Amino acid sequence: MRGPKHDIQRIRVDAQGYDSDGAYWGAGPDVFIATSQDGSDQITVRARTLTEARTRIADEIARQPGEAAAERQPLGGNAPRKTRYEIQWRDPASETTITVRITHARDYLSSGNDHLEIESLKPKKAPLPITETGYRSHFLPPLELMNAGGPVTFVTAWLDTEAKGKGWSKAVNTKSQGDLFAWADANAEVGSCKRALKRRSPKPKAPAGTRKSKRDTSADNG
């Protein structure tokens, strides 16, 4: 089933709130998940028919930041709307570019509570000024996110601000020095191996009976 901008999947839920795979959504109408064709936008609603689902999806798209939903129903832990972005962030300390994915979940777990996931994609799990592991979870009110200019502007400004701190520059320099020391140690080991291989093997001894003793030599000269 295809809408104007989203593909719509229907998940049928039984009277106990489970789907055919055993996932629990909570008691209520069937679940409809609308996903944009590029996968960056996902809307989850509950409705009795496809027509009703399309209306609810359109209402969610039109809902403004900070505006409460007309009706909140259990969605099996999903957010009513989840949007993904990718940015190319330039680290001023290391002068490298990192691909960062930002996932914005609207009304996550409760109304008026948005959630951001910030994750390094390329290089995978690359440290960022806001996380050493390359992943950060952050909650904030929707109006604060809107006033900051949206998820992309908010996260980019956050990264840029933290990257200017002495702590991040020190961390980048320490890592660079650690990589340099590791490279030096590795090359030292390689050099030792090469020197060991170049050592000359001892000359084989002459077979027994082939060398004359001094006494035999003197007798020949006499």
Kindly report which listed range (16-25, 44-53, 212-221) carries the lowest average pLDDT score. Answer: 212-221
For the entire predicted model, the pTM comes to 0.74
Do 90 and 73 fall into the same domain? Answer: no
Quick one: which of 95, 101, 85 has its CA closest to 40?
A: 85
Residue 135 placed within a domain: yes
Same domain, 94 and 147: yes
Supply the range of the domain harboring residue 151.
83-167
Tell whether 92 and 159 lie within a shared domain: yes
- The reported pLDDT for the residue numbered 27 is 93
Q: Is residue 205 part of a domain?
A: no
Residue 123: cis peptide before it, omega within 30 degrees of 0: yes
Q: Record the tokens describing residue 176, joined without a space.
A: 């660079």
Q: What is the mean pLDDT of residues 81-102?
A: 95
Give the amino acid at 54. Answer: R
Q: Indicate whether 39 and 10 sit together in one domain.
A: yes
Cβ neighbors of 185 (< 8 A, separation 6 or more) are none
pLDDT in tens, 122-181: 999 999 999 999 999 999 999 999 999 999 999 999 999 999 988 898 888 777 665 544
On whether residue 185 sits in a domain, the answer given is: no
Claim to verify: residue 98 and residue 152 sit in the same structural domain: yes
Q: What is the pLDDT of residue 67?
A: 87
Contacts made by residues 22-27, CB under 8 angstroms, sequence distance 24+: 23/76, 24/76, 25/74, 25/75, 25/76, 26/73, 26/74, 26/75, 26/76, 27/74
Of the residues 119, 146, 167, which one is the last residue of a structural domain? 167
- The Cα–Cα gap between 61 and 155 comes to 22
Q: What is the pLDDT of residue 203?
A: 58
Count of structural domains, the chain: 2
As a whole number, the mean pLDDT across the chain is 83
What percentage of the chain carries pLDDT values higher than 70? Answer: 77
150 lies in the same domain as 106? yes
Select from 25, 48, 78 the last residue of a domain.
78
Q: Residue 122: phi, psi to the nearest 5? A: -135, 115
Q: Is it the case that residue 196 has pLDDT exceeding 60?
A: no
